Amino acid sequence: SQQGEEDPQALSIQEGENATMNCSYKTSINNLQWYRQNSGRGLVHLILIRSNEREKHSGRLRVTLDTSKKSSSLLITASRAADTASYFCATQGTSYGKLTFGQGTILTVHP
């Protein structure tokens, strides 16, 4: 990956539990975004956090950003079976908005 690592690569939990995924990146950024991908389907934007923000919430999602450590985390609270998907972080720098993706975390939520 051009971006860095996502941790863990795979996560298996029970419905109702929380899921935390981590992402590290290498270069300076304008913002960091999280996307979700169901198997073989398109990428769906979840949340965007700007480089001057430290935490952001959207529904059951909570994202943190630590620019000093070049890392971010995505927390999904009270997970549901429908949350089963791959989750990617992607950074957007200064170059006309291209996204650089991390390797993704495969989340499986068991009913």
Partner 1 sequence: AAGVIQSPRHLIKEKRETATLKCYPIPRHDTVYWYQQGPGQDPQFLISFYEKMQSDKGSIPDRFSAQQFSDYHSELNMSSLELGDSALYFCASSPLGEGADTEAFFGQGTRLTVV
Q: Which of 14, 27, 50, 66 binds partner 1 (CB under 8 A)?
A: 50
Q: Which of residues 10-49 bind partner 1 (CB under 8 A)?
A: 30-31, 33, 35, 40-45, 48
Residues pairing with 93 in the sheet: none
Taking contact as CB under 8 A, which single stretch among the options 12-20, 54-62, 74-82, 86-94 is the one that binds partner 1?
86-94
Residue whose structure tokens are 């919430």:
57
Does position 3 interact with partner 1 (CB under 8 A)? The reply is yes
Pairing assessment for the beta strands 71-76 and 61-66 based on DSSP bridges: antiparallel
- Using the rule CB under 8 A, give the single segment among 14-22, 62-70, 75-83, 99-107 that binds partner 1: 99-107
Question: CA nearest 23: which of 7, 44, 39?
Answer: 7
Which two structure tokens, joined as six digits, stand for 45?
């934007």
Can you tell me the distance from the alpha carbon of 8 to that of 84, in angstroms, rounded to the nearest whole number? Answer: 15
* Smallest distance, partner 1 to C-beta of residue 88, A: 6
Distance CA 52, CA 66 (A): 10
> Under the rule (CB under 8 A), what is the footprint of partner 1?
1-3, 30-31, 33, 35, 40-45, 48, 50, 88, 92-104
